[in-house]
A and B are shown apart, each in its own frame.
Chain A
Amino acid sequence: MIALTRRRPELGLLFWVAALGITGSVAVAAAEAAGFRPQQLVIPVTFVIVAFVLHVFLAVRGIRGDQLLLPIAAALTALGLVLVQRLATNLLLQQLSWTLIAAGAFAATILIPRDITALSRFKWTWALLGVLLLMSPLLPVIGREVNGARIWVGLGTVTFEPWEAVKILLVIFFAAYLEEFREVLSQTQRRFGPIPVPPLPYFGPIIAMWAIAMVVMVFEKDLGATLLFLGIFLAMLYLATGEAFYTLIGIAMLIVGGFAAYQVFGHVAARVDVWLHPFAEEVRFGTGYQLVQGLFALANGGLFGAGLGNGMPERIPVVWSDFVFDAFAEEVGFAGALALLALYLLFVYRGMLIALRAPTPFLQLLAAGLSFIVALQTLVIVGGNARLIPLTGITLPFVAYGGSSLVTNWMLVALLIRVSDVTARVRGTP
């Protein structure tokens, strides 16, 4: 019983998640059918039960440390289910089954591996696995091209985006690699003016990363993955070495690469042109239609929104996967969108605190990198939806429709909880 009472704050927060998810679902269902039937509650209630089961599972396992990440992730997932119900009701059952799989993946990551610091020992395995997964959509039989981007792998009717799993593998690899070599990378004697020049064997993998990111951009036509890929690497490199110059070089290379891609590849140029001139006559009803409709939805939202189930999100093409943020903002307004962003902020802040307090450099880099994934993804997709930056095919973590994204994000949460559990054990705190 002691084990159950230790995670009381988490349990308390989950009751609010339950209330939030069920209220949202009721509002959407009632608005749609102009009436309400109790059986529509089955899906939110199932999810709420899953969330409570996960809580009990953590408590019984005696997992210590963070009690905030599970409720926030659950709240975001509950909002995601409400939005899928609103935007693509026919996909709701599918999304719920993906949620169950995600919960299973979360539990598995809590149970195995026994010692997460041992993950650093197999770093080259993770790197190899990551590169193979990243390249897998290019393979002839299983690779799929959807909406111009070749980032899918499919077997029969089940498809997933290998990129989603790759980002976690990459963070584990980077954390282990940088833990081993950060001294060499940050304490270089040779300097070329203000530029630190590390020995080539240590700099090699950095160049390799850049090259792979460019290959992905060229062959898979996936701008978002490229941006995330490099962003994660540069952020972790900076965290490990404290050398701002590496980051500046990386950003410079990204700008050069991006500019070259704009000149050479049609799909990159199209994205940028839509971003710059969405209302241009030939773009508005063509390639820019989705973004323009999204912007109208944002504007329509106002301060408090049109009310759940009262907006016109069906006017945005593929709204359930690319434009959930705009749809959410339209129906709950600036106030709701702000709360959603605050949830992400809280999640990332908590993740970074876990990183700061972690006992070894590997765990610190791991937690920081995982938190950074969520931060960067949110920034890139919300920025894209609001036309602050060119739109990319990144998903809004936990909320957007999509199985692979949901499963890997829940594994990410489990890893963060594991790091905070290790920290709590080392420090002797609950």
Chain B
Amino acid sequence: MEITFAVLLWAVRIAFLLLLYLFLLRAFGVLHRALVAERAADAPTRAIGVLVVERSPGHAPRVGERFSLRASTSIGRDAGNDVPLSDEAASARHAVLELREDEWWVEDLGSTNGTLVNGTRIERAERVRFGDELAIGRIAMRLEKGAG
């Protein structure tokens, strides 16, 4: 009986030390996961995008030209736009591409000939995903992940 009690006591003591280390291990695990999640949320490439010109009969902009995007990027025929397009079918201030809570949305600013996302003319603000094609007049551009 005496021996059993002593053995039990030692088991509890060893369990205490083990628990101390297990807690430490779990705490490190929680910290590690929090840091990984934070890094994923921070990844600057997640929302940053570029418009890559895919089709441009007038050669301004050139095919393959890349426009890095701002949180609110204006597109149109005026030279003052962030993405200037020299195409007669484009309106002076044609459309705006906006970052809303980490998603890109395009909105037509009442242009004459409209804005197309993947070939469909948009009515109101439309979500644009990476890889989608944006067409204005005869010019087509693709939204891609990454900077400049």
Contact = CB atoms under 8 A, between A and B. Distances in A.
Interface string A83-95: 0000000000000
Secondary structure class of chain A's binding surface, majority of residues? helix
Interface in B17-61: 17, 19-24, 26-28, 30-31, 33-35, 37-38, 41
Contact of A27 (B9, B34, B38, B101): B9
B33 to A, nearest CB: 7
Given A27-B12, A30-B9, A429-B38, A72 B27 contact: yes
A23 interface: yes
Given A13-B30, A30-B12, A335 B17 contact: yes
Interface residues of B, number: 27
Given A68-B34, A346-B31, A350-B31, A16 B12 contact: no
A76 to B, nearest CB: 11
Interface stretch (A113-121, A243-251, A262-270, A336-344): A336-344
Nearest to A27: B12
Contacts of A349: 31
A27 B13 contact: yes
A61 interface: no
A346 B12 contact: no
Contact of B20 (A336, A346, A357): A336
A72 B20 CA distance: 11
A329 to B, nearest CB: 12
B30 A16 contact: no
Contacts of A26: 12
Contacts of A409: none
Contacts of A30: 5, 8-9, 12
A19 B17 CA distance: 11
Q: Taking chain B's interface residues, is the majority helix, strand, or loop, or is none over half, making it mixed?
A: helix
Contacts of A309: 9, 13
A346 B26 contact: no
Interface in A1-59: 9-10, 12-13, 16-17, 19-20, 23-24, 26-27, 30-31, 34-35
A247 to B, nearest CB: 29
Interface string A353-380: 1000100000000000000000000000
Nearest to B40: A429
Contacts of B5: 30, 34-35
Interface residues of A, number: 43
B26 A13 contact: yes
Contacts of B35: 353
A340 B3 CA distance: 31
Nearest to A30: B9
A420 to B, nearest CB: 10
A259 interface: no
A23 B19 CA distance: 9
B4 to A, nearest CB: 12
Nearest to B22: A16
A330 to B, nearest CB: 13
A254 B15 CA distance: 45
Contacts of A353: 35
- Minimum-distance CB pairs A-B, first 3: A16-B23, A307-B13, A20-B19
28 contacts: A13-B26, A16-B19, A16-B22, A16-B23, A19-B19, A20-B19, A20-B20, A23-B12, A23-B16, A23-B19, A30-B9, A34-B5, A35-B5, A67-B30, A68-B34, A71-B23, A304-B17, A308-B16, A309-B13, A332-B16, A342-B24, A346-B27, A349-B31, A353-B35, A357-B38, A428-B101, A429-B38, A429-B41
Given A20-B23, A71-B23, A309-B9, 19 more contacts: A9-B33, A10-B30, A13-B23, A13-B26, A13-B30, A16-B23, A23-B12, A23-B19, A26-B12, A27-B9, A35-B5, A67-B30, A71-B27, A307-B13, A339-B20, A340-B20, A346-B27, A349-B31, A357-B38
